Amino acid sequence: MSDPNSIHPAINDIEYTRYTLLFVYACIVYAIIGFSWGAIMGGIPAFRMYVDTAPHGKLILLAHGHINLLGWVEMAIFGAIYYFVPRLVNRPIYSLSLVKVHFWIHNVGLVGMVGLFTLAGVVGGYDPGQEVERTVSHLMAGVGLFGTLVLIANIIWGYNIFKTGGKA
């Protein structure tokens, strides 16, 4: 019989550790981008004025908010929970493949959302006429598609964690 206080060897799998750390490293990168973006928006009056007054300038604020929330905060939470849950239940993660899929789908979705929010904010801000909504509607549809990828990634994460916890 194994020692109940020992850690299951698969919990320390090198590839699993690598992906858990990738979530942490992504968190750091997104935090630096988000914090810098905020400092630029607050510190450069022309940019702040554009964001505050241009048609659709607030979409740039949404991009900033999403890079902080879905990038910095969520990635930190994902990395922490991927680290702690297997140790709490002393079982390996249910599916390393789902961890990988989660990581890549979430990042593609987030970068796509942020890029299109920003582009829509810039493009919409340069359209002084009444056609602003039409000008950015295709970009906002893309934001919705990339946002759906983030949602799918989060569902994959939740499923994987619930399956790992089992009937703890």
Q: Secondary structure of the chain in the HEC alphabet? A: CCCCCCCCHHHHCHHHHHHHHHHHHHHHHHHHHHHHHHHHHHHCHHHHHHHHHCCCCHHHHHHHHHHHHHHHHHHHHHHHHHHHHHHHHCCCCCCHHHHHHHHHHHHHHHHHHHHHHHHHHHHHHCCCCCCHHHHHHHHHHHHHHHHHHHHHHHHHHHHHHHHHHCCC
CB 116 within 8 A of CB 139: yes
Query: Each residue of 125-157: pLDDT tens digit?
Result: 666 666 667 788 899 999 999 999 999 999 999
Q: Is residue 14 pLDDT above 80, yes or no?
A: yes
Query: Each residue of 79-122: pLDDT tens digit?
Result: 999 999 999 999 999 999 999 999 999 999 999 999 999 999 88
Single pTM value for the model = 0.89
